[in-house]
Amino acid sequence: MAMIGDIDVGDFPLLLAPMEDVSDPPFRALCKEQGADVVYTEFISSEGLIRDAAKSVMKLDIYEKERPVGIQIFGAVLESMLKSVEIVEASGPDIIDINFGCPVKKVVSKGAGAGILKDIDLMVSLTEAMVKHTKLPVTVKTRLGWDHDSIKIVEVAERLQDVGCKAISIHGRTRAQMYKGEANWKPIAEVKNNPRMHIPVFGNGDVDTPERAVEMRDVYGLDGAMIGRASIGYPWFFKEVKHFMATGKHCDPPSMQERVDAARRHLQMAIDWKGERLGVFETRRHYTNYFKGIPNFKPFRMKMVTSDEPQGVFDAFDEVLAEFGDYQFA
C-alpha cells in the first residue's frame, strides 16, 4: 500500500501525469472514471499565479469527484513559490506537486522545471521551504538528472525525502534527452532500492502497455506508475492496466459507442469549463487516439479537427457512429 502523507493511494497506484493543455478537469474526470488513482493538474506557473494571470488561476479548478488530486506548480524563486503555495492551498487540493522536470527552454532558462537539476542545493532548499509552508503533502516530479554525466538521482531523492517531500515521481530521462530515446527505469529502481528511502517512488516514462506497467511493478519494484502519453485520447488505458495487473489478461478494447460517448462528454465538459472556442480547440488533440486504427477515417477526423463550432464536431461524432458503429477494435 502506498501512502502520500496520510493519503492511502492503494497498491501500485496509477497516476495521471501532469500534462500541459491535456490534464485539465474534463480529461482528469474521464481518467478518474477509468481507474486513475491520483490525478495531477497540468503545471501552473508560480509567477503567473502571483500576478493573478487568468490562465494560471483557471488551472486551479478542481472537483470533488477527482480526489485525490495534486496541483503542480513550477518556478525557481522562493518568494513566488511560497506565495503560490498559499494560493494553491486555497483551492483545496490533496497534494501540492513541484515540477522539477519540465525540459522546455522557456522554463529551463529561468532555472525552473528541469533547470533546477543544475542546482540541487536550490532544489532541496526550495522543497524544504515549501514543505514547511503548508500542511498539505508536497511531492516532487523530476527527471534522472540534467544530462547523462550528472545523474545523481539516488542522492537527490534521499535529500528531498529528508526535507519532508512525501513522494517522488521520476521520469526516466535526463533533461538533455528531452523525449528522445527510451526511458531508463534502472536509476529509478536504484532510488527505490536505497534502504534509506521510505516515501513512495513512482516511475514515469514510456508506460504504454499493461505489460510495461507490470514490469515497472514486478521487475523494477517501484511503488506505482505515472502515465502520460498513453492516456491521451485513451482514458481506458488505466482500466486496461488494472485489469491486466489483476488477471494477467487483456480486457476488450472500448466499443465505438463507448469511444463516441467519451469523446462527446469530453468535448461537452471542455466547453462547459473553458468556453466554446477553447473547448473545441483544445480537445482536438485527443480525437486521433479515441478513434485510432479505423480504416478510411481521415475525412471524419478532418471534420473533427477543423470545425470551429461545437456542432460541427458533434455532427462528426454522429456520422462516425452511423458509419462505423459496429467496427470491431483489435
Where do contacts with ligand FMN occur on this chain (CB under 6 A)?
A: 17-20, 22, 42-43, 72, 99, 101-102, 141, 171, 204-207, 227-230
The CB-of-57 to ligand FMN minimum distance in angstroms stands at 16
Nearer to ligand FMN, 238 or 297 (CB): 238
Whether residue 99 contacts residue 69, with contact meaning beta carbons closer than 8 Å, is answered with no
Which sign, positive or negative, has the C-alpha torsion 117, 120, 126, 127? positive
Nearer to ligand FMN, 283 or 317 (CB): 283
Closest residue by Cα to residue 28 from 286, 315, 223: 286
Whether residue 200 contacts residue 192, with contact meaning beta carbons closer than 8 Å, is answered with no
Q: Three cell numbers at 278?
A: 477553447
Q: How far apart are CA 78 and CA 112, in angstroms?
A: 11
The CB-of-236 to ligand FMN minimum distance in angstroms stands at 15
Position with the least CB separation from ligand FMN: 228
Annotated catalytic residue 102? yes
The CB-of-256 to ligand FMN minimum distance in angstroms stands at 26
Contacts of 306 (CB under 8 A, 6+ apart): none
Q: How big is the chain, counted in residues? A: 330
DSSP secondary structure code for residue 115 in this structure: G
The CB-of-41 to ligand FMN minimum distance in angstroms stands at 8
Nearer to ligand FMN, 58 or 321 (CB): 58
Nearer to ligand FMN, 113 or 279 (CB): 113
What is the helix (H) or strand (E) element at residue 14, kind and residue range? Answer: strand 14-16
Contacts of 246 (CB under 8 A, 6+ apart): none
> Which member of 31, 102, 165, 251 is catalytic?
102
The CB-of-229 to ligand FMN minimum distance in angstroms stands at 3
Mark out the alpha helices in the chain (DSSP H runs): 25-33, 46-50, 54-58, 78-90, 105-108, 120-133, 153-162, 186-193, 210-218, 236-247, 256-274, 276-290, 298-306, 310-324
3-class state of residue 102 by DSSP: coil
Nearer to ligand FMN, 206 or 256 (CB): 206
The CB-of-323 to ligand FMN minimum distance in angstroms stands at 30
- Provide DSSP, 116-181: GGG-HHHHHHHHHHHHHH-SS-EEEEEES-SSGGG--HHHHHHHHHHTT--EEEEESS-TTTTT-S
Nearer to ligand FMN, 9 or 107 (CB): 107
**Catalytic residue positions, numbered:** 102
